[in-house]
Amino acid sequence: GLGTCVMQGRTETTSSSRSPRGLFTLHQTLLSLNNLWLVLVPVAAVTFPVSCSTTAFATLAIFVPLPSSVSQADCYVSLWLPTATCERSRTKTVRNSDNPVWNETFYFRIQSQVKNVLELTVYDEDFATPDDHLLCALFDTAKLPLDRTVILSFKPGPNVRATKQLKQLRNQWRVTEQFQNLSEPIIFDQCLKVDMDVLISNIHVCFYLSNCSCQQDLDMRFGFNLCSEEMAFLGKRKRYVASALKNVFHLPHELQDREVPVVAIITTGGGLKSMTGLYGSLMGLKKLNLLDCITYISGLSGTTWTMANLYRDAYWSQKDLDSHIGEAQKQATKCKMGCFSMDRMKYYNKQLCQRKEEGYRTSFIDLWGLMIEYLLNDGKDPHKLSEQQEALCDGQNPLPIYVSVCVRDSYSTNDFKEWVEFTPYEVGLLKYGAFVRTEHFGSEFFMGRLLKKLPESRICYLQGMWSSIFSVNLLQIWGLSHSSEDFWRRWTQDKIDEVDEDPVLPTRPHELRTRMYTPPGALSSALRGALTDRFSVAQHHNFLKGYQLHNNYMENQHFCRWKDTVLDSRPNQLMQNPDQLGMIDAGFFINTSSAPLLRPQREVDVIIYLSYTTGSHTSSLDKACKYYSEQKIPFPTISLTDEDKKNLKECYIFQDSDLPGCPIVIFLPLVNDTFQEYKAPGVKRCCSEMEEGQLDLTSSCSPYCMFSVRYTDDNYRKLLNLSEYNILNNSQMIMQALQTAMQRRRQMC
């Protein structure tokens, strides 16, 4: 088993005049405007390697809504089983008929380890305009019983509107035979050698296969456990953390490995403000001797700029940070107009042409990445993400995790997003447990094999993706201004109705409910396209190409942990395997980098939540809390009064000791509270120093707004000092949380 995904071999369709063994057969399709009859005859199914497949005979009927046309219908039925073939089959079109009839046969080869969902779509053919999509019925073939004929009637649920004119589906199924317990597994691979004897008659085509085994490993990793490199890093990092905790808390003895808490830093985005703020926070932790207690640092948007710059130095956390902060100040305060000079434009063009020649699909996000390179550096930055492994070889620094989300065209980020994590070791999609080596990210894969290796991207291109302000759509802007997208989503989404089966079949494991989908009208579709269209999205080759979901993917607890999209119960669309993965700044969903750190395998005990956002500090925290609660991911309840939200303090601690696996959250919003009167913890400002404590962080005229790309030296220094001060001034609360985590660890040992 490969977790939630299964490799799909090459498929083919055969002539409708033959009835080959090992094929899922569909024939005798009858349709009228009031009734659609479909007869499915799966004769036999290939299995891999020893699982059981079923075959069946089926008849379906549905009432079809009348097309919105003055003429009679020109209907046809499209059949799609993507786990069997990439092509869509269809009946002939019966023109100008209210009672069309078909008698046609279709063949598909299937196998039972993947989730096979047959889509039956009714269209009204038009010449001048795209064909009208009337409705779509989805049927999970895992429902087919063995060795008997069953007639089913599918009835829409009680919530179906009468205006849809959807009455029922009738189904007749008969299992004829199956293949199981093959002596040797059939292996599909790009190097598979098959000896085949073909016997052809008018009735059967019989395949006699002799198969060979493949000893090669896949070029990608499937599984929800941590990779071996990260496990090795954790063993080394624990020595640093244990030593630091012993020195800070004056412990009488060294902590055992199981007693060492895992402490992680998560951040919010916010452009140059978050970059500068993270430098100050790390400086504060360094002065408290707590930086060596940190195991992970995760970032998104502007905080990835800080992380990428620091990890060029293999021992940055073991040194004084003044040199790094000084270089960052130089870049933050320099004039940015050279970004648009003619020489720079020529450089951009040359780099983008080179990237295209290497095999990448370029977009405006790549150009934005090159601009970021100029904003943060004096010249070309040759560094790559995989090179940061050098900064982890001895466990001397925390492990950096960069966060993004994968999106789809025509879907808002709330409707479809999949978490993607980037480390110096791997890049992976959390929901599928699918990972590729960092140096292979962007290369072409098929069925887990590396087909074409592309040169690893320079990190500036990844920074363009991690911190893209150009991937927003109108629906997200509406959500930001009105706190809800429900109004527009209600008018632009497909209407989904679960149908009841009569009689009810015995429940089979992992089967999906039969559903009917009614697409929105032309106006709603156009509106949906306008609302969900993004200016630009980073495009990278899809390393999941060639895979289908495992038959029991919906029962996989790791998949369900991140199951939060409108396509999760539609496996055909979920694993449609576009050639490119579209990735955007994770801040467009929840402005926090916490998701990868809540993987249970990382066993995070304490989260230091650093909020640098320009808007409401509690908004992203509340959204994260609500999201993790819905996903049943352990996360403490956030309890802040309205007064607290209006006048935030510098530090809060949230914990839930009754919830197993729930981390302690230390929430540190970047607010200017006691810093106005104190220049250091316990040291009051004199009258001449009061100006140093005045920072405008929230107004529309603030020099620290998200779109600001240049600070004055004075503004940079103030922001840096504020973020450092807030850490130092709340050291006791941070220490208290760490002590609680150590006590919990001891109790578990």
Catalytic residue numbers read 301, 585
Structure tokens at 739: 């002590």
Q: In the structure encoding, which two tokens stand for residue 95, read together?
A: 């023109």
CA dist 697 and 611 (Å) reads 13
Tokens representing 174 are 């008969």
Please list the alpha-helical segments (H only) found in 105-155.
Answer: none
Q: Quick one: tokens of 554?
A: 């919906």
CB atoms within 10 A of CB 384: 18
Distance separating alpha carbons of residues 84 and 23, to the nearest angstrom: 9
Yes or no: say if 571 and 117 are a contact pair by the CB < 8 Å rule.
Answer: yes
Give CA–CA dist 556/554, Å, rounded: 6
Contacts of 409 by beta carbon, 8 Å cutoff, 6+ apart? 532, 533, 582
The residue assigned the tokens 């209907």 is: 75
Return d(Cα 144, Cα 505) in angstroms, integer: 9
Instruction: Give the C-alpha separation, 81 to 120, whole Å.
Output: 9
Sign of CA dihedral 611, 614, 618, 621: negative
Query: Across 542-676, where does the E strand assignment appear?
Result: 547-549, 580-585, 606-611, 652-654, 664-669
Q: For residue 610, list its beta bridge partners.
A: 267, 668
Neighbour count for residue 687 (Cβ, 10 Å): 6
Task: Tokens for 480, please give them.
Answer: 């930001």
Which residues partner with 515 through β-bridges? 138, 498
Q: What is the C-alpha radius of gyration for the chain, rounded to an integer number of angstroms?
A: 29
Helix residue ranges per DSSP H, 102-227: none
- The answer to whether 364 and 535 have CB atoms below 8 angstroms apart is yes
d(Cα 51, Cα 21) in Å, to the nearest integer? 17
- Upper half-sphere CA count for residue 713 (Cβ side, 13 Å): 3
- Bridge-based pairing of strands 426-429 and 444-446 is unpaired
* Spacing of C-alpha 605 from chain mean position: 24
Six-digit token string for 150: 């069953």
Phi/psi of residue 653, each to 5°?
Answer: -120, 130
Enumerate residues 6+ apart whose C-beta is below 8 A from 741. Answer: 261, 263, 605, 606, 664
Contact 534, 473 (CB under 8 A): yes
Cα distances from 471 to residues 31, 367, 477, 527, in angstroms, run 44, 13, 11, 18
